[in-house]
């Protein structure tokens, strides 16, 4: 029979995703598959434990379980034979190297196996978090050594963040690094500076409007102190100045100016954005560097460290074919529960494995 080797269940809560996974897992066992060749991954420890418990419980209580008929249908084996085989399958399952774990732990195993390729010690410990203060110290040292203190200060001014907030931001960006694709900004040119130009145009518009008889509140909103002040004006975002108190004194030249101002402001904002992200990226790279050297020195890795290292290992350092072959040539089936919680980077790591298993079936 046709048996898709990879399947992710995406359905609403309580709709039977885990039920289906258990059915699938047990069907594979009854079809003669070795438990060590089936990897079942979940997102949380709780879900992994639940998965294991449900498989065990279902095997133990199989004669009265509703899973039985589903297993029979999926495996093509009749219920009587399944029940007859059950004690043998259960014993084998309990003796086996069971591969039910969280995605994080699975990646930890991959990294341990290829630690030396990643420039790490295979004996590394997994920790929840690094010591914040030690990491901060190392990061600041890295910033100083690379003469980036000015960039760091500038960045904290631009983002209006204190150093500790910026540090938290860097840590978040680190865990989402591959997903955010900040590197895209590296090759992007920032538009020319147009702040002064925008401000001058705004001055011209202001003089034109204020030369007309105008209500007091409208006069007030046409007084522009600075570029930042200009950004706060409601009329800046309007498609036309022919509205509100301006309606009576409106002339087409006003909208011409408005459009020019809008273009100049947009360009300046784009410039800020590009410069900001470029600077952020350069600081983030220093942060990543300090995380790496921290991990090396303490021989401790957080789950984010592990995921990013596995991703780099796969994408840059090793032929993925080689990796997955060495990882486990027995591995034939990959079952994912809680698929909706899988991050882009996690899926990116799993994808070659999924394809590998698919092509192996051929």
Ligand X SMILES: Nc1ncnc2c1ncn2[C@@H]1O[C@H](COP(=O)(O)OP(=O)(O)OP(=O)(O)O)[C@@H](O)[C@H]1O
Positive or negative, the CA dihedral 98, 102, 106, 111 is negative
Nearer to ligand X, 54 or 289 (CB): 54
The answer to the question of whether 126 is labelled as a binding residue is: no
Q: How far is the CB of 228 from Mg ion (least distance, A)?
A: 51
Residue 342 binds Mg ion (CB under 5 A): no
The answer to the question of whether 14 is labelled as a binding residue is: yes
The answer to the question of whether 15 is labelled as a binding residue is: yes
Q: How far is CA 193 from CA 57, 265, 272, 276, 314, in A?
A: 67, 10, 9, 14, 41
Site string for Mg ion, 5-34 (x = CB under 5 A): ------------xx----------------
Residue 19 binds ligand X (CB under 6 A): yes
Q: How far is the CB of 331 from Mg ion (least distance, A)?
A: 23
Residue 194 binds ligand X (CB under 6 A): no
- Kindly report each contact of residues 46-51 with a partner whose C-beta sits within 8 Å and lies 24 or more positions away, as own/partner: 47/18, 47/102, 47/337, 47/338, 48/100, 48/101, 48/102, 48/105, 50/18, 51/18, 51/21, 51/22, 51/100, 51/337
Q: How far is the CB of 128 from ligand X (least distance, A)?
A: 24
Residue 66 binds ligand X (CB under 6 A): yes
CA 349 to CA 167: how far, in whole Å? 27
CA 352 to CA 345: how far, in whole Å? 12
List the single partner that 290 binds among Mg ion, ligand X, none, CB under 5 to 8 Å by kind. none
| CB neighbours of residue 44 within 10 Å | 14
The answer to the question of whether 11 is labelled as a binding residue is: yes
- Taking CB under 6 A as the criterion, the residue among 4, 14, 216, 362 binding ligand X is 14
- Taking CB under 6 A as the criterion, the residue among 8, 18, 48, 309 binding ligand X is 18
Please count the residues of this chain forming the interface with ligand X, following the rule CB under 6 A.
Answer: 9
Residue 165 half-sphere exposure toward CB, CA atoms < 13 A: 9
Nearer to Mg ion, 185 or 339 (CB): 339
Nearer to ligand X, 18 or 221 (CB): 18
The answer to the question of whether 232 is labelled as a binding residue is: no
| CB neighbours of residue 162 within 10 Å | 10
Residue 99 binds Mg ion (CB under 5 A): no
For the chain, how many residues are written? 362
Residues contacting residue 313 through CB under 8 Å, at least 6 positions apart: 110, 111, 114, 117, 118, 323
Given the rule CB under 5 A, which residues bind Mg ion? 17-18
What is the binding site for ligand X (CB under 6 A)? 11, 13-19, 66
Annotated binding-site residues for ATP read 11-18
């Amino acid at each position: 029979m046709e048996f898709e080797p990879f399947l992710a269940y995406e359905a609403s809560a309580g709709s039977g995703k885990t039920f289906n996974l258990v059915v699938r897992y047990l069907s594979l066992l009854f079809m003669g598959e070795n438990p060590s060749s089936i990897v079942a991954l979940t997102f949380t420890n709780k879900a992994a434990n639940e998965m294991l418990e449900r498989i065990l419980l279902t095997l133990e209580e199989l004669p009265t379980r509703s899973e039985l008929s589903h297993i029979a249908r999926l495996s093509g084996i009749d219920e009587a034979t399944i029940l007859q085989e059950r004690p043998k399958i259960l014993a084998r399952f309990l003796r086996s190297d069971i591969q039910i774990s969280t995605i994080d732990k699975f990646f930890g195993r991959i990294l341990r196996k290829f630690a030396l390729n990643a420039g790490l010690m295979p004996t590394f410990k997994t920790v929840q978090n690094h010591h914040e203060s030690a990491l901060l110290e190392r990061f600041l040292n890295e910033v100083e050594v690379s003469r980036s203190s000015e960039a760091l200060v500038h960045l904290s001014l631009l983002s209006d963040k204190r150093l500790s907030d910026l540090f938290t931001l860097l840590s978040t960006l680190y865990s989402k690094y591959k997903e955010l694709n900040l590197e895209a900004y590296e090759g992007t040119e920032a538009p020319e500076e147009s702040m002064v130009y925008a401000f001058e145009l705004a001055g011209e518009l202001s003089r034109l409007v204020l030369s007309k008889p105008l209500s007091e509140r409208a006069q007030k909103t046409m007084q522009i102190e600075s570029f930042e002040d200009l950004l706060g004006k409601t009329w800046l975002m309007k498609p036309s100045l022919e509205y509100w108190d301006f309606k009576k004194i409106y002339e087409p030249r006003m909208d011409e100016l408005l459009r020019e101002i809008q273009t100049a402001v947009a360009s300046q904002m784009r410039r800020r954005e590009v410069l900001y992200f470029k600077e952020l990226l350069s600081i983030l790279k220093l942060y990543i560097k300090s995380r790496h050297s921290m991990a090396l020195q303490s021989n401790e890795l957080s789950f984010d460290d592990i995921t990013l290292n596995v991703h780099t290992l796969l994408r840059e350092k090793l032929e993925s074919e080689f990796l997955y072959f060495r990882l486990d040539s027995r591995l034939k089936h990959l079952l994912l529960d809680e698929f909706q919680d899988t991050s882009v980077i996690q899926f990116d790591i799993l994808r070659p494995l999924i394809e590998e298993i698919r092509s192996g079936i051929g």
